[in-house]
Structure 1
Amino acid sequence: MAAFNLTPSGSSTFTLNGIPGLESAHILISIPFCICYIIGVLGNFTVLFVVGKEQTLHKPMYLLMCMLALTDLGMSTSVVPKELFIFWFSLKDITLIGCLTQSFFLHSISVMYSAILVIMAFDRYVAICNPLRYTTILTNARIAMLGLVGLIRAVLLVLPLPLLLSRLPFCAGHVIPHTYCEHVAVAKISCGDITINRMYGLVIAVVVIGLDLTLIALSYGLIIRAILRISSKKAHLKALNTCTAHICVMLISYTSSFFSILTHRFGQGISPHVHIILANFYFLFPPMLNPIIYGVKTKELREKVWKYTCRR
């Protein structure tokens, strides 16, 4: 009967178990986690600092880079510091409120992240298909408005998730076999019916990724059609080169996102430690690689970063 003693939701404390089966290797695993996080934080803060300081970079494309950098920082910081405390100091306890807050932020930032990738695809479409009207169609104010719409969408879609979790009864032994409070992982330790939680989480994933990928595919379909109409091969390469950074970021982000979603919902045959490490890729690699990709592929940004580096 003890297993069914319900604890009052407000006073519940959960235990994040880290990576089950690899507890003895937590310190070793923390090294690449920590390195990826530090590189990501430094890279994204560099983008924000340089774009903020340089008036010549106050353009829609760089404003989008700053939005991406902010979501990268928010996404990794909502997860990785707590993971490192688990790995280094075995500080595994987290309150129900803390768990719901972490779940809300990591999921809403993920939805916002996808929206920014869609806006970036639209930016590339206008730049290639309608370059003469680029400055009139995509102003800084319009980009900021699109970003605000993406943020509102993320909050409205994700807000029901912690509310659905908060209504569940949690039994004794609140051990979450994970490194962070992922919605389904928390719901699974409830002794109540979690059908609605599962269904709503899946609906969000399908609607957000399905809709956003459709809009991105439409943008790139129009871009490819416009490029094929250009006779010069040199112009072909120049036009494609302006899209490579966004394509790389998109592939890294959506690939790691798909791994995370699929392993959580359909990975019953996967070992728990493999499942959790794959799920963490989404919070480690995109935030680390995105500023590097844009720094390498964007000449103007690279030159400004180099200017500040040399000055120091």
Structure 2
Amino acid sequence: MMLEQAISEACAAVGVIPPRGRVAMRKWVQADTLAKNGKGDGRLICDEFRVTAMNWQTGDKATVWLKDEFTPAEKKRFAETRAKDQREDREKSARAAAIATKIIAASKPGTHPYLGSKGFPSERAPVIAAEKVAEIAGDYMVPDGACEAVVVPARVNGSITSVQLIWRDGTKKFLFGGDMGRASHRIATGGDTWLCEGYATGLSLRAALKGLSRKDTILVCFSASNIAKVASTIKGRCYIAADHDAPPKTKPEQFDGLGAGEFFARKAGRPYAMPPIVKTDFNDLHQSEGIFAVQRVLSKLIREARM
């Protein structure tokens, strides 16, 4: 596999925009992510055998190998390297889970300006002060001038693996090293399952489905790529409320000409719907056109999925 193709595939898997120009070998290169406020939150490293991309907003990590076959000496060397990497990843994951548990324990239920800006001023969620976050996790989790954050726990099979912190301006931060593959946050429990990316989108789904007299499970999956991973674990009927992302400007072929939301919704193989306007999600639709507009899209998806 050519290096450029490997870079494209690794970045696509985690929602990172491939950096322009030639990529330096064996050095971490900064890149942007596809999500809002994603400037500088991607990382990429390459060597003569593999490409690894990381998304600091979602915690996703992907490696694409340049070769399918290795010499005996290469196999031995990379077996040792991979074992070392796996040990380090487990250690980082354990540290992140421990820190996440402390952050959750230190948070208190309350309203938050971010939720108010998303149409839910009375919604109570776990909230933590910036000073406490810096004390527990480090300054890298706190944007300049931030006061307090909404705490969104991330769980895999019921166990805490990380947290997402959402600050007033919408900036989202994850703990470094946290295991986010197949992680989700449940905000409603019921019959069928709905998957979405963001917390505010999940709240809009909850409101819309309640108005349709439906009691369903809603899982926030944190990123488009992770929706496909979570979908693979769901038994029973499952729908995806995807963000209507625009195709990447610099690499429109990265997602087969689609936006990340639709690309990974298709990859998940489950019925999906998007709001009609590009660069919006269902919370945007809720705020701009009202809850009935969201309900119309969801009702259409349900009807068509059952035909």
- TM class by smaller structure: under 0.3
- What is the TM-score with the length of structure 1 in the denominator? 0.25
For CA contacts below 8 A with separation 6 or more, give which structure has more relative contact order. 1
**Structure with a larger share of its residues in strand:** 2
- What is the TM-score with the length of structure 2 in the denominator? 0.25
**Structure with a larger share of its residues in helix:** 1
Kindly name which structure, 1 or 2, has the bigger radius of gyration based on alpha carbons: 1
